[in-house]
A and B are shown apart, each in its own frame.
Chain A
Amino acid sequence: MSSKLSDLEAIGNFQLSSIEHHGEICCEIAMRQILALLDCYGDVGSQLAYLPELIRWGPVVWPIHWCGLENSEGLVGDCGVHADIAARILNRFKLSYSRGQAVIVPSKLVAEHWKSSWSKVGASDKWIFSNFVYHEVVHIGARWWDPTEACWFEGEDAFLKAGRVLAVRIEGGPWKVSESFNINLQDGIQSSRK
């Protein structure tokens, strides 16, 4: 179990993702285009909801630039990309928020698929640990928003499509860890019905 706790400590050192800008017209056009497409969806909720529809969740090689978000399958970005752009949307609407980090326990069969997909494009899979994964989120008011799944969640212990939230923290703050932290790490979420 101690090794799992050390994994969590390792996550604590992760820096929040930020999309880079070449300082050239290539990134300027790409960034403006993406933000303009989001602007078509008037209110902040709709823009945040449209974000993962516009930029499909998938592997990217960091550091990523605005002009590199588009590949042959369209716009692709991971949770770091989504969180960074979500923050820009919230800034434009002048809403108070904080960037955040989460630890999620996915289904035991799932992480291997993600590892394989990330590996196939040469992207780093250091966000995938043996029993949990690193995720970037946003804290708005008193609630948490998952910019990749476009949903509100209640913090630690909540369920997301990707799995159960084990711990969350506001940027630079302390972790809020689920009371069932140890149980979840041991069993995953597929344990039999008792």
Chain B
Amino acid sequence: MMIEPIQPRGHVMKVGTVIVSGMHSGPNPSPGLGVARSLKLARPGLRIVGLDYSSNSSGLHTDKVDEVLLFPEWNEMDIDTWVKQIRQLLETDGVVMIPCLDLEVRLLALELGNCSGILSPSADAVKFAGKPPFEVAEVMNMSVPASEFSTDWPSVERFTRQSSQNVWVKGENYEAFKSHSSLEAIALGNMVQQTWGGDWHLEEHVRGQECGIAFCAVKGRLIDAVFMTKSLQTGEGKTWAGEISEVPTDIQTHLEELVRQMEWTGGGELELIQSWNGEFTLMEFNPRFPAWIHGATVCGANLPLSLITGTAKQRTKLASPGFTRVIEEIPVRPNLGLSPFIWPSGDFRSSSGKHPSGMPQLAHRRLLSAPRVSDDQSSFSRGQVDRDDLHGFERLLEPPSGKITPFRQVLLPLFTKKVEELKHNVKDLGQFVLAHSVKTCAQPTVLAEAARLGMIAEATNQAELQNADRRGLKASNAILNGPAKWWPSQNEVSCGAFFADSVDELRQVRQMLDDGFRLDANVVGIRIAPFRTPSRFGVDISDAKTFFDVVELVASISHRLGASWGMHFHHAESDLGAERWQLECASALQVADSMANELGASPAVLDFGGGWDVEDMSLLGPSLKQVLLNGPSVCREGAPLLVLEPGKILCQPSAVIVTQVIARSRSGGDLVVDAALGDIPTGPYWPHPIALFDGSEWVSLLPGKDRLLGRSCMENDVLAKWINLKEIRLGDYLAVGMCGAYDTSMAYQFGLGTPPQEIGRQ
């Protein structure tokens, strides 16, 4: 059977045979089988040749395929031979090809761009439709998700933290994984790179309804398009059922302009997310039909047929509102068979079963693009660092010459600077007091400076409270938090406020008072647990009994002490990001209004805690402002004293570990220094800035692929990773910045042959 009439590059030709590639139909299907089924549905006599790169491509075994063409797997492919063979296949009159694999389409565009029988876009059009599809989005008048292309640790850490909805790790060639942390994102990015070759980037998750547009065009003329809204998805997010409708008129107009500009030929797909208010975000633009294309056909919009005829059947109404998939077992072709089970060498199966068309192997051959950034481009170079990017410690740090390493240098001016910066940022928010978290940094000089700057102490036990008091942070003004605030046991405690961590703790305090415990506190309060984020701390007031228990206990204890009442929220902003911290904080504190009603008084103190990331200083003031605006009305009407205890944001920059290179590791790039994990306990978990003393000044090191290893014989003694240490020599001095918070308070002696610090009192 021959089909009239048009051919993509201009001349009219009757189509008798259609070669369709990408025939696998599994949980993550390619579009080829859908294209074949659509063509056969409309033109049963049309000859369909299924083309693929493995006999395990399931669609090759269906009765929609009249002939099978198997190429070798991509790692065995000789590209010149492939090009020659494709050209030969298309030499016969009436034969056209609809390629249905992304990377294959791109390679065909590069290698066979002028071949008239291939119904797919040109190399220029494909380039226009890169990942992410910025240019396409602009023409379509749609937004794209926020993205980050720098995959160095600090950039990934920052983007992940500031993305309130988690992030997606996306490969340049294929694949997307959801990630919740920077370390997870980098691990996933490396896995994508290993599987698919090419680079990877991060995209912010966009909430909303997933939908898509399938279209076909010939020489820049839009032939047909349909809109699909996902109803059911597989675990991988692939469409299983969807509603089909006509493309909204305004989008259709932009789509016509898009294909005109790109002179598009072939099928295409826009993957979209529609927000609650109806706006679209363009997630992907694919240079081939979607895998659900036959779903549109059964609803009355046969785009594969429209593509090879060059005309669309006029529709007044769709035949069905949508489609769904079913699973069907079919016999394999007796003369094609199936490849046998490949025996696994490890615990996990290779990806060949997941992608029988072998696209990862094609991607690995790097036939399509050069790496975005080579390692050389990010190599270390003295003097090229933007001074504004520095964290400040390099300019304050003294030359290391003559000093015994490793040593910690406290940089008090950086602490002072951060406190002043914070005061400035929150000065318009109301009556506030800054508290220094003693557990975060108990350095005597820092405690004394905090006192000089008018701060109060936030302590989590009696030892911290007494230590802070000795350094000038008066216990009588201090805040007591956490579940162990009364430990070690005392007969008498004086503090400014305490916030109970549980209902049981309130009961315990009342019992202690009954037993003669002398407590002097101006404020009795509770710490409220966050709603969405799991936490081991705080009171979960989600039932009436707990609420009334809390009210009764707070009323009782505050009455006995002659104290007011208060409320505290605490969760690490460095984990949540500013936006989620603000939402959690405002929602958790809402209960303050009900408590105020029951207690007959507004809270005297609202205490905001949770370690803020140093880079988020500019977000702290606006976040608090939003909490005061959207939180309980007592925030605005009661004029409570606001206590801010943002933890490491103030003290983290205030210490540096200076160390010396003592060995080069086996791998060549990695270096061993005389500091160890005990000196920088959080080294493996977040990116510390590192500087080199070049003989005259400290200069920052740039991202790379090397690791800074600690001196101890422990596999996990990795002080920093993904930095460029290529030009560092034995004996060089390095400074690890941002060690003023937990890297100071949690530091321990290890690997020096010293006896353990005994615990327990005689």
Residues of A participating in the B interface, judged by any CB pair closer than 8 Å: 41, 45-50, 53, 56-57, 107, 109-110, 112-114, 116-117, 120, 149-153, 158-161, 164, 187, 189-193
Contact = CB atoms under 8 A, between A and B. Distances in A.
A160 to B, nearest CB: 7
Interface stretch (B79-87, B559-567, B640-648): B79-87
Interface string B52-68: 00110000000101111
A41 B345 CA distance: 7
A86 B717 CA distance: 39
Interface in B324-350: 333, 335-346
A159 B70 contact: no
Given A41-B345, A46-B346, A109-B70, A160 B78 contact: no
Contacts of A48: 343
B340 A159 contact: yes
A151 B341 CA distance: 6
B751 interface: no
Contacts of B337: 158-159, 164, 189
Contacts of A158: 337, 340
Contacts of A49: 342-345
Contact of B78 (A41, A116, A149): A116
Contact of A117 (B73, B78, B85): B78
Secondary structure of the B contact surface, majority rule? loop
Contacts of A150: 342-343, 345
Nearest to B63: A193
A151 B72 contact: no
Residue from A57, A109, A110 whose CB has the most chain B CB atoms within 10 Å: A109
A192 B70 contact: no
Given A45-B343, A112-B85, A190 B67 contact: yes
A191 B66 CA distance: 9
Contacts of A109: 69-72, 85
Interface residues of B, number: 33
A48 B345 CA distance: 8
Contacts of B65: 193
30 contacts: A45-B343, A46-B346, A48-B343, A50-B345, A107-B69, A107-B70, A107-B72, A109-B70, A109-B71, A110-B72, A112-B78, A114-B72, A117-B76, A117-B78, A149-B342, A151-B340, A152-B340, A152-B341, A159-B336, A159-B338, A159-B339, A160-B339, A160-B340, A161-B55, A164-B337, A189-B70, A189-B337, A190-B70, A192-B66, A192-B67
A22 B21 CA distance: 48
Contact of A107 (B63, B71, B78): B71
Given A112-B78, A150-B343, A159-B340, 17 more contacts: A41-B346, A46-B345, A47-B345, A49-B345, A53-B345, A110-B70, A112-B81, A113-B78, A113-B81, A116-B78, A149-B340, A151-B339, A159-B338, A190-B69, A191-B335, A192-B66, A192-B67
Contacts of B342: 49, 149-151
A187 B335 CA distance: 10
A113 B81 CA distance: 6
B81 A151 contact: no
A56 B364 CA distance: 14
Contacts of A46: 344-346
Contacts of B343: 45, 48-49, 150-152
A161 to B, nearest CB: 4
B77 interface: yes
Interface string B303-338: 000000000000000000000000000000101111
A50 B67 CA distance: 35
Contact of A161 (B78, B339, B345): B339
Residue from A57, A160, A190 whose CB has the most chain B CB atoms within 10 Å: A190
A117 B78 CA distance: 6
Nearest to B350: A53
